[in-house]
Structure 1
Amino acid sequence: MEHYVRVMPYQVIEQEAEVKEVPEGVELIQAPKIWSKTKGKGITVAVLDTGCDSSHPDLQKQIIGGRNFTDDDGGHPDIFKDYNGHGTHVAGTIAAQENDNGVIGVAPEASLLIIKVLNKNGSGQYDWIIDGINYAIEQKVDIISMSLGGPTDIPELYQAVKKAIANNILVVCAAGNEGDNNDSTDEFAFPGSYNEVISVGAINFERRSSEFTNSHNEIDLVAPGEGIVSTYLNGKYATLSGTSMAAPHVSGALALIKNLANSSFERKLSESELYAQLIKRTVPLGNSAKLEGNGLIYLTVLDHLAKVFDQEVKTMVMNRQASFS
């Protein structure tokens, strides 16, 4: 019996021919406030999805190549065109370029490797996903982003994920949209439920857990996943909702974090060390850990804490000086 994986169910709220904005989700995770330090240059993110509209004006300079593992276009390996829209939307959230028009991604100077593993219907065989992961490993990418999932735990898929991580690749996955707004029940989708991946749940712009987001003990963190504006088919833009939209916020954030961390430590950090750097940049929102994991990705939290610490030290010094005067 063949098993299939699909894009996480998502809702297309609106399509637009033109926009000009920094998306609210990109703002919420504080990405613009660290662009003076890095915009992700030199980091490659593999987007395993429905392909991409590589001619989109916000994406064409970011895409460094691609490969098709699906049955679209007769299975031609070099045609990774997106007929669905999901993959193009995800790619834009990660790395839409800064061009004073359209939208801008979390890491606007990161490179995108488009690996098409889901066809025009948003469906794919597990073998396509596994082949896509292995291709990403061969291409020595830094990050794999997967906004897809299925109900079946396939051992070969798990092995491919572990192989990627053994090759020091960060694997980011959407948690899934089968949630019932009840953290006492668990909903699992694979590969997002594997302990080794970075599993991302969704929140809205009021920082509340999305009703559809899966809950279980493997959730690592959350990101904006409702009303997300990004690139879409035929050079247009669309507003979508789903954990599929949350995961690419984290993939883009990791591109920025990897640059910052490698510069600070003056060496390349391991996958586990980079994961620790990611989790250090989260803030709890008061939801159940089964819904939000460690909390919301918030890229400036360390800077904020440093300022608070500096102020506390200054206050202590001033109080001590006053006691001697």
Structure 2
Amino acid sequence: MTKFQLIPHQIDEVLEETNEIPEGVEMIGAPNQWEEDTYGSDTVIAVIDTGCDVNHPDLRDSIIGGRNFSGGNPRNILDQNGHGTHVAGTIAASLNGHGVAGVAPKAKLLILKVMDDKGTTTYQNLVKAVRYATRWRGPNKEKVGVISMSLGGQKDYASLHRSIKNAVKEDILVVCAAGNSGDGNARTPERLYPGYYDEVVQVGAVDFDAKMAEFTNTNDEIDLVAPGVGIRSTYLGGKYATLSGTSMATPHVTGAAALLIDQHRQEGIELSENDLFEALTENTKDLGYSREVEGNGMIYFKDIFE
């Protein structure tokens, strides 16, 4: 049976405690949005990954629901790997005065566990999770606004592509990691699916100096880049960890999308998927690379005084 897997990533450090706004969250200007009372409130993000530490003090108030597609009890969404918990924290860790804060600290997380402890899954399970996210309705008729996936495979599967197209038709933005097999040569395209699909927002990684990460994939479908080197976020057992990879860049863009949904909703505007993508590309900084490296640029919310 064909496997999809987590995009390989690097664990740099694990901490018992911390108290900070992570540097990546600061770098993209998310706190500038918070100053405008925009926190991603009530936007539902489906995180299709390894599950989540649902008892983590920075995440437990953000989780609206979940389902397990990796086998066993469908209600068991506990993370035994760490990757999904880290991604979830970058998106929506609570702004609670300790630990870390996510880009959209008042967004809601729908945790869809598709991967086993080793970070592998079948494309059939991945399709089921995307379909579930598309059809899901919350206790107050909420629906998913964004799907976040930091995983990939070498092959293009028609059923996976169809499920993503259907999600987009339902005005769900799909955000995917580009992959970490880059060789630093922008003329050598590296392609993983679902990231390479035209319908998704494919995210590459830069470091805190806004330089291209040496591992980030480059291809003609890159849409945005975000911080992906040395990213501090939530981890297993109520801890915190510093990880590197395009998997860590992706949730910065996912959280940014939640902020934009919230901002426009406050103005009485419900964004279509296409409108949301355009809003993301309007909130970017040109880093001076080719489109195959940075797409439309690095996600960035300006300070009102800039």
Q: The TM-score by the shorter chain falls in which range? A: over 0.9
Partner in structure 1 of residue 124 of structure 2: 127
Letter of the structure 2 residue corresponding to residue 15 of structure 1: V
Give ranges in structure 2 of 5+ residues lacking alignment: 137-142
Return the offset for 1:187.
0.4
Supply the distance in 1 between the matched residues of 2:299 and 2:43 (Cα, whole angstroms): 19
In structure 2, what is the Cα distance between the partners aligned to 1:261 and 1:242? 30
SS of the equivalent of 2:162 reads helix
> Does 2:224 align with 1:221?
yes
* Distance in 1 separating the partners of 2:264 and 2:2: 39
| Counterpart in the other structure of 1:233 | 236
Unmatched tracts of structure 1, length 5 or more: 308-325
1:59 matches 2:59: yes
Indicate the SS of the match to 2:263.
Answer: helix
Q: Which amino acid aligns with 2:85?
A: T
Which amino acid in structure 1 is aligned with residue 238 of structure 2?
G
- Select the residue among 145, 150, 156 that pairs with 2:148: 145
Q: What is the correspondence of 1:107-126 to structure 2 with a 5 Å cutoff?
A: 107-126=104-123
| Matching residue's letter, 1:21 | E
Structure 2 residue identity aligned to 1:10:
H
How far residue 262 of structure 1 moved from its aligned partner, in angstroms, is: 2.9
Q: Deviations over 1:1-45 (max 9, x none)?
A: x21111110000000000110000000000011103211111000
d(CA) in 2 for partners of 1:156 and 1:123? 18
Between the aligned partners of 1:246 and 1:102, the Cα distance in structure 2 is 20
2:89 maps to which residue? 92
State the superposition RMSD in angstroms. 1.0
Q: Please, which moves more after superposition, 87-96 or 36-45?
A: 36-45
CA distance in 2, matches of 1:236, 1:7: 21
After the TM superposition, which residues 289-304 of structure 1 pair with which residues of structure 2 at under 5 Å, given as runs?
Answer: 289-300=291-302, 303=304
Match of 1:15 in 2: 14
Percent of aligned pairs with the same residue?
Answer: 52
Aligned counterpart, 2:140: none
Local SS of the residue matching 1:206: coil
Give 2:147's aligned amino acid.
I
Question: What is the distance in 2 between the residues matched to 1:76 and 1:299?
Answer: 41
Residue 191 (structure 2) pairs with residue 188 (structure 1): yes
Q: Which amino acid aligns with 1:157?
A: L
Q: 1:311 is matched with which residue?
A: none
Deviation at 1:261, TM superposition (A): 2.1
Higher RCO, 1 vs 2 (CA within 8 Å, ≥6 residues apart): 2
The Cα offsets for residues 201-247 of structure 1, whole Å up to 9 and x where unpaired, read as 00000100101100001000100000000000000000000000000
Asked whether the 8 Å contact 1:230–1:239 carries over to 2, the reply is yes
How far 1:263 sits from its partner (Å)?
2.9
Q: Which runs of 4+ in 1 moved over 4 A?
A: none
**Is residue 2:54 matched to residue 1:47?**
no
Between the aligned partners of 1:88 and 1:109, the Cα distance in structure 2 is 16
Per the alignment, residue 172 of structure 2 pairs with: 169
Q: Deviation per CA, 1:144-164, whole angstroms, max 9, x where unpaired?
A: 000111111011000000000
Q: Higher helix share goes to which structure?
A: 1
- Secondary structure of 2:144's partner? coil
Match of 1:142, SS? strand
